[in-house]
Amino acid sequence: MTEQNTTNKQKIRVILALAVPAMIENILQTVVGFVDTLFVSKIGLVEVTAVGIANAILAVYMAIFMALGTGTSALIARSVGAKDFEKAKSIAKQATWIAILIGLLFGLISLFFAEPLLKIMGAEPNVLEVAVTYFRIVAVPSVFISLMFVFGSILRAAGDTKTPMKVSVWINIVHIVFDYLLIFGFWKFGGLGITGAAWATVIARILGTIALYRYIVKSKLHFSLFDGFSFNDSPRSLIKLSTPAAAERLIMRLGQVLYFGLIVHIGTATYAAHTIAGNIEIFSYMPGYGLAVAATTLVGQNLGANQKKEAYSYGMLTTGIAVLFMSFIGVILYFFSPWFVTWFTTDKNVIDMVTTALRIDAFAQPALAIGLVLAGALQGAGDTKSPMYSTAVGMWVIRVIGVYILGIQMGTGIAGVWLSILIDLFVRAGYLLLRFKKKMA
The structure's pTM equals: 0.74
Q: Tell me how far the alpha carbon of residue 169 is from its chain's centroid.
A: 17
pLDDT of 3 reads: 40
pLDDT of 1 reads: 37
> Which residues pair with residue 186 across a beta bridge?
189
pLDDT in tens, 196-207: 888 988 998 999
Which residues are within 8 A (CB) of 261 and not within 5 positions of it... i.e. 6 or more apart? 120, 121, 122
pLDDT in tens, 397-411: 888 888 888 888 887
pLDDT of 353 reads: 87
Sorted by where each begins, the domain ranges of the chain are 3-440
C-alpha–C-alpha distance, residues 390 and 395, integer Å: 8
The low-confidence residues of the chain, meaning pLDDT below 70, are 1-6, 28-36, 226-237, 241, 253
C-alpha–C-alpha distance, residues 147 and 97, integer Å: 9
C-alpha–C-alpha distance, residues 92 and 97, integer Å: 9
pLDDT of 4 reads: 47
Q: With beta carbons less than 8 A apart as the criterion, state whether 251 and 392 touch.
A: yes
